[in-house]
Each structure stands twice: as C-alpha cells, then as structure tokens.
C-alpha cells in the first residue's frame, strides 16, 4: 500500500472517529472560561505525581523487555528504557502506524532479528491485557455494589474469563506450538489458503516469543513487572482525577472508577491518529467521564486534557531529547519499522489462487 493511500485511509478513519465527537461537543454547550477555571484550580502537584507514576512505568516496561530477552542475550537491566520511551513518543506523534518502532529500535540496538523482537512485543501485549484484566477484576470485585454499575461488574467478570481463556491458550502454544499452529492453520485454511498460512505463521511467531518464558520464575517475574507497571498507570489516573478538587465527583473518585476509566481510555485510544487524534481522544475520554462520574462537562473536559498530558503526551519531550542524544530520527524509524512489519506479514504467505469463472 502506498504512503498516499495510507494517508487517505487515516484521514477517512479520522473523519469516522471525529464526526460523532464533533457533534457531541457541539451539542454540549461548554463554558470555556469554566474549563480554564477548573484547570487553574486543579492540584498540579497531584498531576505531577501522576506523571511520575507514568515515567516509573516506562522503567518497569524497559526492564520487562530485558527479562523477556534474557535467554537470547544478557543485557543491563535498564538498557532498553530509552527504546520504550522513544517508541511511545513515535506513537504519540505519528500514530499507531509507529507501533512497531519499539521492537525495531530494540532489534537495531541489540542486533537481534526483528522477528524475535516482534515476538517479544506480542508476548508483552498479552501480559499487558492480562494484567489490566486482573487489576480491573480485583478492584471492581472488592468494591461495593453501589460503587460500580452492574453492567461494568459483569464486564469485569467477562474480562477475567477471557484472561483465563487466553492464559490456557498461551500454555497450549507454549507446550505444543507447532501442533496448535497446524491445527488452526488447517481450520482457517478451509476458508482461505492465504488466511490459513498467515494464522499458522503468526502462531509460530507467537510460540517463538514464548520461548522467552522457560521457567515458572520467568513467568512470575514478568507478570509481577506487568502488574506493577499497570498499578502505576492506574494510580496516575487516580491522582489526576483527584487533582480536580473543584469537582466533587472527580475529587472523590474511587480506585474502581479510575480503573474503569483507564480501560475506557485504552479503548478510545486504540485508533491513535497523528496529533489530531489527541483531540478526539480528549473528547472521547471527556464523554466517558461525564457518563461514568456524572461530572460537569467543563470539569470532564479539563480532566480528559490533563489525562492525555499525563498518560500519553507527557513522555514526548523526554523521547525527543533521548532521540536527539542517540541520533535517532523517529519519523525514519516509524517508516522503516512499518515497512519491515509489512515484509514480515507477507513472508511465506501465498497469493490467493485466481477464481475460475
């Protein structure tokens, strides 16, 4: 796909996401002076504390990647923190197309094949999803029935079920990856030969990534690092909510609601567009805060903007400085990692046979 076509697709996606949010913002009559007043009255020390939690999370994230590579290459504990910081800076500035920047940067730094780092990336994402689900379930289950809406509590139990199912699948792939890959490859191959081969290759890549977890100790340490990192992120949300002291619903937010907002924000940011996506993310999170906390629109918008700063954009200055020191062009890295990812995706995947008329 050419860069021009990709830009058209991103603009179309932006229009799809932005249109309903623009309509929502214009239906709600924001008093911008009140938004500014909410930001002025906010406890910025709490916001700084939230930002500190996010920065600490990057240290955990970098060390986790080192642990996932320990059987292939021994690295200093915090040697990959910069790769994480620069990778997420690229995502913040360029969008989700830069998602493979982190495995690409690690591959360049360590000399390890990109395929092995993409496998680590996949395993890392699974631990992220599982950790979020465990934290959400634990916090919501311990909360009173009145503190959490019934449908949210049911969603938390569903998330736990999916996490258990994912863990069982992970064990199956770890113990018999080749057999699982062939079985699912044949299942999808009955629908499409191309899809069957693609699924088989992806599971083989996943199995290769799971080779980084060879003992129960490996699993326990990576899980502990993942849980610690996501607890820090949840605390960043809670601190930022409590910073808005002029809004009673936000200043008294419970940990359970902060975790729910964290998950909702992750869903909103799934389609992260370059720069412009910041504003759609703020609008989406603000609408979530209004619905979840019953806060005023002005306080919700100010809080959503602060959350974007704390959890997403706050790392950008550090990432740009780090890239400058390491002489890394984030735009070039994003483009090269995207092309490398496309090559990996199409490797060994056959073309669909032409249909007979």
How far is residue 116 from each of residues 102, 272, 321, measured CA to CA in Å?
12, 25, 28
Domain residue ranges in the chain: 32-346
**Helix, strand, coil share of the chain (percent; to 5):** 80, 0, 20
More confident of the two residues 350 and 77: 77
Residue 5 confidence (pLDDT): 53
Which DSSP string corresponds to 217-285?
Answer: HHHHHHHHHHHHHHHHHHHHHHHHHHH-TT-HHHHT--HHHHHHHHHHHHHHTTS--SSHHHHHHHHHH
pTM listed for this prediction: 0.82
Lowest-pLDDT range of 116-120, 193-197, 290-294, 350-354 = 350-354
% of the chain exceeding 70 in pLDDT: 79
Predicted confidence (pLDDT) at residue 206 exceeds the cutoff of 80: no
Residue-level pLDDT at 353: 45
Is residue 347 classed as helix, strand or coil in its secondary structure?
coil
CA dihedral 156, 202, 125, 276 (to 10 degrees): -100
Question: Over 90: is that where the pLDDT of 189 sits?
Answer: no
Residues 6+ apart with CB under 8 A from 72: 112, 116, 212
The candidate with the shortest Cα–Cα distance to 99, out of 310, 345, 285, is 345
Q: Which range is least confidently modeled, 28-32, 141-145, 160-164, 203-207?
A: 28-32
């Amino acid at each position: 796909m050419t860069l021009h076509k990709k830009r058209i697709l991103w603009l179309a996606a932006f229009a799809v996401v932005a249109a309903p949010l623009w309509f929502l913002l214009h239906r709600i009559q924001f008093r911008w002076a009140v938004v500014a007043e909410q930001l002025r009255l906010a406890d910025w020390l709490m916001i700084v504390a939230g930002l500190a939690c996010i920065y600490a999370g990057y240290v955990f994230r970098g060390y986790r990647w080192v642990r996932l590579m320990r059987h292939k290459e021994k690295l200093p504990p915090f040697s990959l923190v910069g790769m994480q910081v620069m990778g997420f800076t690229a995502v913040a500035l360029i969008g989700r197309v830069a998602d493979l920047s982190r495995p690409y940067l690690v591959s360049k730094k360590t000399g390890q094949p990109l395929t092995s780092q993409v496998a680590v990336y996949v395993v890392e994402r699974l631990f992220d999803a599982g950790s979020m689900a465990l934290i959400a379930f634990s916090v919501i289950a311990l909360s009173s029935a009145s503190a959490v809406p019934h449908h949210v509590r049911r969603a938390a139990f569903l998330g736990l079920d999916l996490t258990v199912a994912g863990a069982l699948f992970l064990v199956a792939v770890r113990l018999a990856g080749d057999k699982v890959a062939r079985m699912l490859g044949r299942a999808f191959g009955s629908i499409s030969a191309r899809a069957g081969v693609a699924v088989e290759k992806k599971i083989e890549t996943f199995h290769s990534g799971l080779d980084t977890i060879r003992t129960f100790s490996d699993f326990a340490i990576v899980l502990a690092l993942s849980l610690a990192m996501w607890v820090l992120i949840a605390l960043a949300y809670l601190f930022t909510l409590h910073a808005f002291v002029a809004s009673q619903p936000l200043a008294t937010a419970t940990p359970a609601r902060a975790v729910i907002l964290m998950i909702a924000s992750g869903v909103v940011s799934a389609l992260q567009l370059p720069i412009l996506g910041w504003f759609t993310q703020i609008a989406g999170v603000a609408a979530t805060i209004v619905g979840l906390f019953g806060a005023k629109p002005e306080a919700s918008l100010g809080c959503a903007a602060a959350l974007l700063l704390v959890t997403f954009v706050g790392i950008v200055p550090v990432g740009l400085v780090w890239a400058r020191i390491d002489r890394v062009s984030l735009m070039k890295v994003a483009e090269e990692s995207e092309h490398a990812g496309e090559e990996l995706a199409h490797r060994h995947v056959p073309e669909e046979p032409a249909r007979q008329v």
